[in-house]
Structure 1
Amino acid sequence: MTQTYLPGSERGKYMRYDTAVILKRFYLCEKELVVGEAGWIPGIPYFDMKTLLPKILWEDAMTANALRERVFELRFPSRILEVGEDQQLIDLIRKARSAPNALAFLSTLAHVFKPALLQAYQTYLRLADHIGDGPTYRFMNLAVEEKQRQIREISLLLERESARADHTDRVLAEQWTNEIQERLQAMGGIGLDAPVAEAEQKETALGNQPAAAGESAEALSHAIPFAPMEVPARDGRFIHVRFYWPDNVDPSFPYGEGFRLQLRSAVSHLNEIWAVENAGHVLYSFAGELGWEFIYDAARWVYDESRHCRMGYERLRSWGFEEAELPLGTYIYDSCKGQDPIYRLGMLFYFESKNIGKKLDRIKNFESMNDRTSQHDMDFDWADETIHTSYGKTWLSAALKKRGQDPDDYTEIKEMCESIVKRTVETATAEEIEKITEIANRMIAKGKAAQ
């Protein structure tokens, strides 16, 4: 007698382990994008993108963290996240960092990797079980919305900046994007199934002839070995200087009171662009050494610094200042050139802890002026900096411990940070001091006239 059973349904397509394998692949992709995005921040000249990419990488980090935690839940009690069969996919994302220019890197985000992840997430949501795997549905639906917006935002900026770019840069960006796209498509994209093995790709390309043992994929055309830029790229719409206000190099120039304090504070916020770039450099440099928990905190650190930068920019613009009137300095970032990246991490920690007490006074000053916007911005800035001080202690200690040093002794780091900044300030020329003094005085005169 034949035994019959009640039918199953499509809802049972992916079991717990199958789901964990898929989500692990998505996590690994998001993680590598975060690291690459952070590393490229110093090398992106476009101000709008330099301050938008931190938000994008923070969103990507939030998605990656949710994916990672979900994988651990599904694989309990194991907390091992091996790359395994996804290695060549991860390698391609890493290789894409070696783009020949910023346009090329951003183009691979907007036209290759973000759309591939968006499609993968949408496919997953259609096929996976919204009951058994319900927790994944909430954050993945949010990830879909974020990816759609990210693609729009990056694409709009690319369209604008490509129109201004040199013809050679545009051609390189297009060629690079096409090649990355072809490589990704050859391995089957980012999907629910494992990437097509490299040997299988070659076998297909060679008319089903087996690939030679040890044969490797061809190098990407126009690739440039990647490392975060030691000299940050700057947007030509602003005034490019090393020192962004006279008091950086001239102690006799007053910090200012009243509207001068409003201006000085806004310019200071704008010039936290160095901290955005430095935090990106730090995330990239310590990602492998300190691991995911560090990357997750550092992504938020990068994003917060970009928000502070935008705070100053928006206030100055609201007071009638054009980009061509605004100084963007580099001296703190410059001071770490050629140094061990641990001093970049120390520099962020040093300046956060050094200036946090002054912000409470500024909040009171702006309240007395009835400048609610400056007060509001400084109030939120202060809250962020308290978090950053904790980040600095945690991860500077972790880095020191990794190097076999006392994790609780920051003396050498602090002294070195003070020293290299002091040495940089001492290189200020008379021409530089005259230039930034003229810029500041013009801004002060315009601010006074607008009262």
Structure 2
Amino acid sequence: MTVEYLPSNQKRGKFMRYDTAVILKRYFLCERALVIGQAGWLSGIPYFDVKMILPKMLWEDAMTAHELRNRVYELRFPSRMLEIGDDQALVDLIQQSYNAPNPLAFVMGLSRVFKPALKQAFEDYLEMADVLGDGPTHRFLELAVREKEDQIQTLEKYVQHYLEKEDARSIETAMQWVEELREKLGEIGGIGIENCKGMEVRLSDQVFTPNEVPNRDDRFIPVRFYWPDIVDKSFPYGEGVKLQLRSAISHLNEIWAVENAGFILHEFAGELGWDFIYDAARWVYDESRHCTMGYERLKQWGFEESELPLGTYIFDSCKGKDPIYRLGMLFYFESKNIGKKPERIKSFAEFNDQVSQHDMDFDWADETIHTAYGKRWLSAILEKRGLNPKDYQKIKDECDRLVDDVLKSVTEEEVQQITQITENMVEKAKQLVTAERV
């Protein structure tokens, strides 16, 4: 007896549940590695604009990775395993790319190799995958494609800008690095639907570590202490114009928190795992928004970068220390300053300065989240190290001491310098107020 069957030649039957999980796992591993690398490079990138946009990008990448990870678990239920397996060469290549020879090379590796490769992989997957069987993946990957396109265009805009400013040797080195990345990615089969080739990837024998001395944009004034009252208790915090300037400069100088949050994301990614990376990516992004808030207020008031101080003293205080103190430093300053924000918000309302009020209001909301992050992850590290997870206050106390040690090292020349910078800013602000009234 011959058994007959209806034809089944529809393209949407190509990927089964497990096939889909294998592909999405590969994309997750790539996004995860890119998040860690972008975070680790934040203190090493001098370009202010790039230092501010990478946090948004790595946060978007983390959001995509989180969706991919959850979807893999759904498709593999009840298994919660997410091994690297056949994707080892691909992960190795991305991790090796952290050892870029200069900041331009790292940024170009993102804009010209890895982000385009991921965007193409997502598009290829969406073209072949079934919108009925795998509808949830379609939703977030379609968003991820749009984000990747925007990221590439934005990064390339800055690449073109800095190609005009960097010296010829740095540019040549960066170009060669990008070409090597592109060739290696091609050799292992790229980021696609098929498994990559199992091969050893070696671009550098170095083990990447984030910069402990931050690279800063030379358009700004490099200082350790960004306002006199940090090192001179007789200098008033200020009211009116002075309070507006002090608040904006404080926001701008949260650049240290951007760099520090990126540092700890990189350093604790392996020890604390994905949930930490996911929280830390948001932490990095939030700090970059706060920094940009201050920058935009100052620019709108008429200040140029050459008039603005960028300090390093908080970031400096953890140099050579266990990275647990960098996490503690973020927690320490978030919890230390959060109580002052409502009073500042009230003052700005009285000045009818809605933008400063708005920025401080959103800053306050973010910092309530961040204090929870600090408590959660400090406790987690302490517990992993066999210590009392409730002893995070000891870490905060040590952070207080570390900062105090740096404050004690201030020189008279530094006090005079930042006092003069501040007086110049206040004088210009008063002139702007007078001009506005005329």
User: 1:409 maps to which residue?
Assistant: 391
How far, CA to CA, are the matches of 2:119 and 2:400 in structure 1?
Answer: 45
CA distance in 1, matches of 2:422, 2:168: 36
Partner of 2:203: 220
CA distance in 2, matches of 1:59, 1:168: 33
User: Where do 1:45-444 residues align within 5 Å?
Assistant: 45-198=46-199, 217=201, 219-220=202-203, 224-444=206-426
- Tell me, yes or no, if the aligned pair for 2:212 and 2:316 is still in contact at 8 Å: yes
1:382-431: per-residue Cα shift (whole Å, max 9, x none)? Answer: 00000001000100000110111110112321121011100001111111
RMSD: 0.9
State the AA in 1 paired with 2:400.
E
Deviation at 1:315, TM superposition (A): 0.2
Match of 1:29 in 2: 30
Aligned partner letter, 1:342: I
One-letter identity of the residue aligned with 1:299? A
User: 1:7: which partner in 2?
Assistant: 7
The letter of the residue matching 1:52 is: I
Taking structure 2 as the reference length, what is the TM-score of the superposition? 0.97
The 8 Å contact of residues 247 and 253 in structure 1, kept in 2 or not, is answered as yes
* Residue in 2 that maps onto 1:212: none
Unaligned runs of 5+ in 2: 434-438
- Amino acid corresponding to residue 6 of structure 1 in structure 2: L
**In the alignment, which residue of structure 2 is the partner of 1:20?**
21
Task: Report the secondary structure of 1:164's partner residue.
Answer: coil
**Alpha-carbon distance in structure 1 between the residues aligned to 2:3 and 2:184:** 49
TM-score, scaled relative to structure 1: 0.95
1:224 shift after superposition: 4.9
Aligned AA for 1:5?
Y
Query: Which residue identity lines up with residue 3 of structure 1 in the other structure?
Result: V
Write the letter of the residue equivalent to 1:238. F
Shift of 1:240: 0.6
* Separation in 1, partners of 2:206, 2:414: 33
Number of residue pairs matched? Answer: 432
Q: For the Cα contact (< 8 Å) 1:46–1:235, is it kept in 2?
A: yes
Supply the distance in 1 between the matched residues of 2:2 and 2:99 (Cα, whole angstroms): 62
Cα-to-partner distance string for 1:14-66 (whole Å, 9 max, x where unaligned): 00000000000000000000000000000000000001000000000000000
Q: Deviations over 1:136-189 (max 9, x none)?
A: 011000000000000000111011012100111101100000001100001110
User: What is the deviation of 1:225?
Assistant: 3.6
Query: What is the rounded CA distance, in whole Å, between the counterparts of 2:51 and 2:332 in structure 1?
Result: 23
Deviation at 1:197, TM superposition (A): 2.3
**Counterpart contact for 1:29–1:90, Cα < 8 Å:** yes
CA contact (8 A) 2:88 2:198 kept: no
Partner Cα separation in structure 1 for residue 208 and residue 28 of structure 2 = 23
**Contact 2:225–2:231 at 8 Å: present in 1 too?**
yes
The equivalent of 2:436 in structure 1 is: none
In the alignment, the residues of structure 2 paired with residue 251 and residue 375 of structure 1 have an alpha-carbon distance, to the nearest angstrom, of 26
Q: Which amino acid aligns with 1:375?
A: Q
Looking at structure 1, the residues matched to 187 and 401 of structure 2 have their Cα atoms a distance apart, in angstroms, of 51
> 1-side partners of 2:173 and 2:22: how far apart?
36
CA distance in 1, matches of 2:227, 2:243: 12
**How far apart, in 2, do the equivalents of 1:428 and 1:356 lie?**
26
Q: Aligned partners of 2:183, 2:206: CA distance in 1, in Å?
A: 19
Whole-angstrom CA distance in 2 between matches of 1:402 and 1:99: 32
Quote the offset at 1:71 in angstroms: 0.4
Cα distance in 1 for residues equivalent to 2:7 and 2:329: 63
Identity %: 63
What code does the residue aligned with 1:110 have? S
The question of whether the paired residues in 2 share the 8 Å contact of 1:100 and 1:224 is answered with no
Q: For 1:375 and 1:145, how far apart are their aligned partners in 2?
A: 33
Are the counterparts in 2 of residues 99 and 224 from structure 1 also a CA contact under 8 Å?
A: no
User: In 2, Cα distance between the equivalents of 1:13 and 1:66?
Assistant: 22
Task: Determine the C-alpha separation between the residues in 2 that align with 1:112 and 1:183.
Answer: 10
- In 2, Cα distance between equivalents of 1:243 and 1:176: 36
Q: Is the partner of 2:273 in helix, strand or coil?
A: helix
Aligned equivalents of 2:392, 2:3: Cα separation in 1 = 73
Distance 1:354 1:26 in 2: 39
Query: How far 1:259 sits from its partner (Å)?
Result: 1.0
| Secondary structure in 2 matching 1:450 | helix
* Aligned residue type for 2:171: R
**Which letter maps to 1:449?**
Q
For residues 324 and 224 of structure 1, the distance between their equivalents in structure 2, rounded to whole angstroms, comes to 36
Specify the SS of the correspondent of 1:422. Answer: helix
- Segments of 5+ residues of structure 1 without an aligned counterpart are 199-215
